[in-house]
Amino acid sequence: MKRLVSKIDSSAPVNPDGNAAALIPSRPTISRLREAASVCKACTLWKNATQTVFGEGSPASRIMFVGEQPGDQEDRAGRPFVGPAGKVFDEALAEVGLDRAQVYVTNVVKHFKWVPAPRGKRRIHKKPRYSEIHACRPWLEAEISAVKPQAVVCLGATAAQALFGKQFSITRHRGQRIDSPLAPFAIATVHPSSILRAQDSESRHQQMRAFVNDLRQVALQTTKNQAA
Ligand code: URA
């Protein structure tokens, strides 16, 4: 299988507000990290969010999935991928014989970034800025160090560019194994919300098949590594 070589993107401008590094506890287990992150103010996103949405799953998971940031429902529930995109994700996991209890799921940014809808009460998701991703990054790095997954799977361009470099293109490189210091197996695929935006049911079905195929590769690879 052709592999891409990625370097952790070190071209991030220094965040004038700093980042969350100073908040990382000593002996950082997932539960200690979650507690410390609950009061994170390393960027300004905490101001409009209900709470920090930290990663979730067994610290012994072999697979870590990384999304962009919590959405509206995740912000209210305090848990990642529990809204509509999470349902698509769960469906795809089930198709490859995995469930949430076996994997660790997190986001590059731990607070919901949103703007009010022009009319009504809806909160519209807003893509995080590079400085916000940079501010939040120590949490993700600490999660990866604590879980030590066999596979890191980026869901969508924001996660993939944060972890594999700004030039990373999901269109060109989805489903390709990436050489990364983060885990023995690293890969990026589409964000499940993109499947929800498909134009019609045929294209939704086809995009779901491709997403499931990417996840199947991950499931097979981690089973293989476990057997080795
Ligand atoms: N989208 C994400 O990237 N993460 C979530 O937790 C929910 C939606």
Task: Give pLDDT tens digits along the chain (228 positions).
Answer: 556 665 444 343 344 458 999 999 999 999 999 999 999 999 999 999 999 999 999 999 999 999 999 999 999 999 999 999 999 999 999 999 999 999 999 999 999 999 999 999 999 999 999 999 999 999 999 999 999 999 999 999 999 999 999 999 999 999 999 999 999 999 999 999 999 999 999 999 999 999 999 999 999 999 866 666
Determine the residue of 54, 103, 191, 196 to mutate for testing ligand 1's pocket, defined as the one with the most ligand atoms within 8 A of the Cβ atom.
191
Whether 67 is in the pocket of ligand 1, judged by its Cβ within 6 Å, is yes
**Cα dihedral sign, 151-169-87-68:** positive
The CATH number of 15-227 is 3.40.470.10
Whether 85 is in the pocket of ligand 1, judged by its Cβ within 6 Å, is yes
Whether 114 is in the pocket of ligand 1, judged by its Cβ within 6 Å, is no
Determine phi and psi for 64, rounding to 5 degrees: -115, 125
Q: How far is the CA of 207 from the centre of ligand 1 (A)?
A: 18
- pTM score over 0.85: yes
User: Which residues, in sequence order, are bridge partners of residue 154?
Assistant: 66, 188
Q: Coil, strand or helix: which one is 142?
A: helix
For residue 118 the two structure tokens come to 């022009």
Tell me, what's the pLDDT at 83? 98
CB distance 70 to 54 below 8 Å: no
Q: How far is the CA of 98 from the centre of ligand 1 (A)?
A: 18
Per-residue burial over 82-121, b if 16 or more Cβ lie within 10 Å, else e, is bbebbebbbebbebbebebebbbbbbbbbbbbbeeeeeee
